[in-house]
Amino acid sequence: MAKQVNVGVIGCGIVGRGTIETLLKNKETILQKSGISVNLVGIADIRIDNNDELLNGVAIKTTDAMELINNPEIDIIVELIGGYTHAKTFILAAIEQGKHVVTANKALLATHGKEIFNKAIEKGVQVAFEASVGGGIPIIKVLKEDLAANNIEEIDGIINGTANYILTRMIQEGKDYKDVLADAQKLGYAEADPTFDVQGIDSAHKLTLLSSIAFGTWVEFDKVYTEGITNISTVDIDFAKELDCTIKLLAIAKKRNGSIEVRVHPTMIPNRFQLAAVNDVFNAVQVKGDVVGTTLHYGRGAGGTPTSSAVVADIVNIARDIVSGCKERVPALGFAQAIESHYPIVNIDDTVSSFYMRFNVEDNPGVLSTIAGIMSLNNVSISSAIQRGKEGQDGLPLVFLTHNATGKQIRNAVDEIDKLPFIKDKTVVIRVEGLR
């Protein structure tokens, strides 16, 4: 007879329902693959509907998550309610009961992960979170196991589907941010309060987890530089096109001389980059390892059904460990060391890249040379300049691309330039990666 592993799911939202559906629909497939009967024995949700057809045949339906957590028959608790307070309580309680945990909760793990992972290590159970980054794309386990031979040098990810959807439509249709956001909200691609997605916070949560695994450190979420897409305008998108580039909300983690950079911001990248072709709600994570070189992992970054692929993969992994009797096979963050912050994080002022700068100037003689002079005084060298179009309300756009400079050099230059009398509107600054 097949071995049994019992699962309880907390949360009947989008990912919860996707997970329940996949566990039920593909139970036979999972059994064929793993030789294990993965049984969904219980579901908890504060608004559980006992007449919900999806939940037919599930033995326990409860509004009390603790009923699952305290059930001795259940081996794995799946937390899919999201948020901080209750999710944390349930996860810690499940760990305390010696149960393994599967979660998609990046916000909680990014902010309270150290405590949760350390508790899990203490109790000898797993906290798996493949679904927390990149939806159904296998990336957490890929970093922890498949690329274990590598020192990871860099990660560049498009890991927020909403922001990518909005930018894609702005680029393809030439529409304003606000119009596309409103439309995305109507279509269900953006939430009523889109802050987490459009301000880069969700990407920063995910980057916290990716970079922690990549570099074997605990990255403090509040040290991740985070800048959203709300100020991206069609003018800058058009200039990007002229430069054979596109603008993406990138989550970037780099290791350099024993320090690490972790930053989320709109980034201009060349169209020849694979990441430039990742459109709509799709996600992709590009990884650079010292042995493998560059790999890219692409797929649907959101949605209940795609994400359930990752949730259930975690469940099957843990079920395999339970049945084959192995403990602590792979450490929580992929490194067999205490979960601590091992590396300093570079302040955004000290990170180096090239920059796109758009000045809004009056069309006077001497403007270009004055600005270029200030750039030069701040030791920023210009790789190219574009001036086109006519002077509008906000002035005439003058675009510079710089060679490598620090965030601080650019900030200082902009502070000075924005005080000049012929500057009609705040200078726009967008970081650039990968221009030769």
Q: What is the DSSP letter of 276?
A: G
Asked whether position 103 contacts its own copies by CB under 8 A, the answer is no
Among 320, 408, 411, 424, binds its own copies (CB under 8 A): 320
Asked whether position 325 contacts its own copies by CB under 8 A, the answer is yes
Distance from C-alpha of 118 to C-alpha of 122, rounded to nearest angstrom: 6
Asked whether position 334 contacts its own copies by CB under 8 A, the answer is yes
Among 277, 338, 377, 385, binds its own copies (CB under 8 A): 277
Asked whether position 178 contacts its own copies by CB under 8 A, the answer is no
Asked whether position 29 contacts its own copies by CB under 8 A, the answer is yes
Q: Is 192 left (phi over 0), alpha (psi -120 to 50) or beta?
A: alpha
Residue 432 Cβ vs its own copies, minimum distance, rounded to whole Å: 21
Contact 201, 226 (CB under 8 A): yes
Beta strand extents in 177-303 (DSSP E only) = 225-226, 245-256, 259-270, 282-289, 293-300
Asked whether position 335 contacts its own copies by CB under 8 A, the answer is yes
Of 311 and 410, nearer to its own copies (C-beta) is: 311
Residue 162 Cβ vs its own copies, minimum distance, rounded to whole Å: 17
Distance from C-alpha of 58 to C-alpha of 42, rounded to nearest angstrom: 6
Asked whether position 37 contacts its own copies by CB under 8 A, the answer is no
Asked whether position 24 contacts its own copies by CB under 8 A, the answer is no
Q: In the window 67-86, what residues touch its own copies (CB under 8 A)?
A: none
Give strand pairing partners of 39.
6
| Residues ≥6 apart with Cβ < 8 Å to 385 | 368, 372, 398, 399, 400, 401
Residue 275 Cβ vs its own copies, minimum distance, rounded to whole Å: 11
Among 47, 51, 72, 149, binds its own copies (CB under 8 A): 149
Residue 185 Cβ vs its own copies, minimum distance, rounded to whole Å: 23
Asked whether position 308 contacts its own copies by CB under 8 A, the answer is yes
**By C-alpha distance, which of 298, 332, 342, 283 is closest to 144?**
332
**By C-alpha distance, which of 90, 89, 67, 70 is closest to 78?**
90
Q: In the window 113-142, what residues touch its own copies (CB under 8 A)?
A: 130, 136-138, 141-142
Q: Choose one: 30-38, 118-126, 217-225, 366-374; the region binding its own copies (CB under 8 A).
A: 30-38
Distance from C-alpha of 45 to C-alpha of 43, rounded to nearest angstrom: 7
Asked whether position 258 contacts its own copies by CB under 8 A, the answer is no
Q: Is 389 helix (H, G, I), strand (E, B) or coil?
A: coil
Asked whether position 289 contacts its own copies by CB under 8 A, the answer is yes
Q: Choose one: 220-228, 251-259, 302-310, 354-362; the region binding its own copies (CB under 8 A).
A: 302-310
Asked whether position 306 contacts its own copies by CB under 8 A, the answer is yes
CB-CB neighbours of 53 under 10 Å: 7
Asked whether position 146 contacts its own copies by CB under 8 A, the answer is yes
Count of alpha carbons within 13 angstroms of residue 232, beta-carbon side: 35
Indicate which residue of 206, 248, 254, 255 is catalytic.
Answer: 206
Asked whether position 172 contacts its own copies by CB under 8 A, the answer is no
254 catalytically annotated: no
Residue 250 Cβ vs its own copies, minimum distance, rounded to whole Å: 17
Cα distances from 65 to residues 10, 44, 88, 164, 245, in angstroms, run 6, 5, 12, 34, 49
Residue 226 Cβ vs its own copies, minimum distance, rounded to whole Å: 27
**By C-alpha distance, which of 265, 264, 296, 300 is closest to 280?**
300
The count of chain residues that interact with its own copies, using the rule CB under 8 A, is 62
Of 29 and 384, nearer to its own copies (C-beta) is: 29
CB-CB neighbours of 124 under 10 Å: 11
Distance from C-alpha of 292 to C-alpha of 424, rounded to nearest angstrom: 49
Q: Which residues bind its own copies (CB under 8 A)?
A: 22, 26, 29-35, 130, 136-138, 141-142, 144-151, 216, 274, 277, 289-300, 305-306, 308-313, 316-317, 320-321, 324-331, 334-337
Provide the annotated active-site residues: 206
